[in-house]
Structure 1
Amino acid sequence: MHNNILGFGLFISLAFSACVPKLVAVANKTDEQIKTTYQVTKDVAYGTDKEQTMDIYLSGEAKKLNSKNFTVIFLHGGGYYISDKSKEERYIRPYLKKGMNIVNLNYRIKRGVPVATEDLTNALNYLVTQREKYPLNLDRVILTGFSAGAHIASMVAVTANDPAYPNKLAPGIKIAGVINFSGPVDGLDVVEHVFMNNEVPIMKEIGMALFPATTDYAPKELVAKYEPINYFDKNDPPFFVWHGGKDDQVPASTFEKFVVLLEKDPNKNTVLFLPEGLHSPSTSELASAYEKIFVFLDKL
């Protein structure tokens, strides 16, 4: 009898596993299929500032993904100073092709790292209050971004379990993973120096605006508050990090210590380092990265 029970349990487990789709195996939707299966609401306000808006992509097929029914929150780059959610949609397109729910987020720019970093938490907390209107699965949130946006995503992920961190996520939000493209995780002072000493005017402006409370280089104790490595612990969600060896904005050296921490658990975390990679991935590099990203997500 005992063996029969064990056998039945194994059968149920295998049957359940068989019905849970793998994202890597989900056929990519065509442009027309994306149009017909998504309800898109643009410029949803999650705060009182005009820049606190988001585009919400609700998929009619997301629930079919079962445990892979993640809510992907993407944040654009631009040095916390320029750009917009509409400028980097190539990063959300692979998720649209898989039928996943997506939030493409704007945040307050030209006001420095501290202000920009608050807005992802503000947006997530707003979505908790809007569950009926926007039925997103906030128990399985993937935070992702490029450059400044990836830094913000990483910061929120590693501080979520830190009782001393002031910006609290509302109950009901669980971060399942982080996907970081070229976002600072350490050495934010190095990044500040790169921008402030840049000969290109807009780059210098970005550098001067990173920490507007200071007129010179920000003190280390202030910069350290916004370095994800200083909050990292084994209970943080899994990380996927993409970075390039020839990144001239967020130098590869600033990733080294963080990567060592991630690689202590290679079954949990994935690091994709391209020795010849620049700050922004090329079209082919991005396509290759997403092949690995869906493998990463399938493990969560």
Structure 2
Amino acid sequence: MITPALLAALREAVQPDPLGQPLPAARTLYPGTRSYCDIEFEAPEGYRPLLLDVHRPAPPGPAGLLVYLHGGGWTRGSRRRHSLPVAEITASGFALACLDYRLSGEALFPAQLADVQAGLRWLAARGEDPELDLDVSGAVLWGESAGAHLAALAGLGAPAGQDDPAQATGLTIAGVVDWFGPADLSAMGDPADPHTREARLVGGPLGERAAEARAASPVTHAHPDAPPFLIMHGTEDSLVPLEQSRTLAEALTRAGAEAELIAVPGAEHGWFGMDDTGPLVASALEFAGRRLYAGTPSGGNR
């Protein structure tokens, strides 16, 4: 007879609890940086295990936490697909955690948001391990495109399901850096087209999935206690119009939250058309430093 205890033991043998697993050995992938790669942070039943990488300054001491979410239209990409200057980020004293999430071909929204929340919970629970030595008193979320959309939702405490309250992550979200992310899905693309990136995320044409599109839109969740937002968007973006970021900044400001929008002249989606993105990175790091080290962060949920 299979008892509940035996069943639990079998499940643990096949898929151990990620919170209890040892960390991988540190690797040197970037100058002045210790990298802990391929950390399993969540194992949603019926799906692949989800992984994260943590890159932290090589010198000992607690490091401020930036959490990066990749782009790719929710259909492609991974935590490794980014152009961030990791060595520059760690030299500035920050740790960078890069998370995977399920893509829209694997699961419909809000699975992606639930995965981000799971990653934040793992970081809150394990971030103070001596090897990682992260300052988990707060975190700044940083995403681009689809990842910025998820960073905005997580920062705003959007629920990962219409019937479920926003799940506590154990981390205070001190700020959100939003690089050219969608903010109002109902205003993106042809509402009758079932093949748009947005339609594939919510499970059907936006005109037929209006409630789902609204729930998946950061503008829906703006509120006065939202963490500060730094929103950056190219004026020539042909995939996600600049108006998306304007709409989000206006919604946050109307709600009484803090939002700064920087329109980057001549930049396409992904900053194509720019010779030097260094100033954009510098602005993001300056914003993160102010939010993480200026006393008690505002907003977020524990």
TM-score (norm 1): 0.73
SS of match in other structure, 2:212: helix
Give the alignment partner of residue 42 of structure 2, picking from 29, 47, 72: 47
Structure (1/2) with the larger helix percentage: 1
Q: Which runs of 5+ in 1 are unaligned?
A: 1-31, 198-203
Q: Tell whether the 8 Å contact from 1:139 to 1:173 is kept in structure 2 after alignment.
A: yes
Q: Residue type matched to 2:99 in 1?
A: L
- In 2, Cα distance between the equivalents of 1:207 and 1:160? 18
| Counterparts in 2 of 1:142 and 1:218: CA distance versus 1, 3 Å | farther
What are the within-5 Å matches in structure 2 for residues 96-175 of structure 1? Answer: 96-109=90-103, 110=105, 111-133=107-129, 134-159=132-157, 166-170=165-169, 172-175=170-173
* Cα deviation digits, residues 133-154 of structure 1 (max 9, x gap): 3332221201011101111010
* Cα deviation digits, residues 173-194 of structure 1 (max 9, x gap): 11111001111122x0222538
1:235 equivalent in alignment to 2:225 = yes
* Cα deviation digits, residues 237-291 of structure 1 (max 9, x gap): 1111011222222112222232224557999532111242211114535212122
Shift of 1:155: 0.1
Q: Tell whether the 8 Å contact from 1:43 to 1:55 is kept in structure 2 after alignment.
A: yes
1:70 equivalent in alignment to 2:64 = yes
| Counterparts in 2 of 1:50 and 1:97: CA distance versus 1, 3 Å | farther
**1:245 alignment counterpart:** 235
What are the within-5 Å matches in structure 2 for residues 1-300 of structure 1? Answer: 34-35=30-31, 37-48=32-43, 49-50=47-48, 52-61=50-59, 63=61, 69-90=63-84, 92=86, 94-109=88-103, 110=105, 111-133=107-129, 134-159=132-157, 166-170=165-169, 172-186=170-184, 188-193=185-190, 196=193, 204=195, 206-212=197-203, 214=204, 217-262=207-252, 268-282=258-272, 283-300=274-291
Q: Across the two proteins, how many residue pairs are aligned to each other?
A: 255
- In 1, Cα distance between the equivalents of 2:97 and 2:214? 29
Shift of 1:196: 4.2
Which of the pair has more CA radius of gyration?
1
Q: Residue type matched to 2:244 in 1?
A: T
Aligned-residue RMSD, C-alpha: 3.2
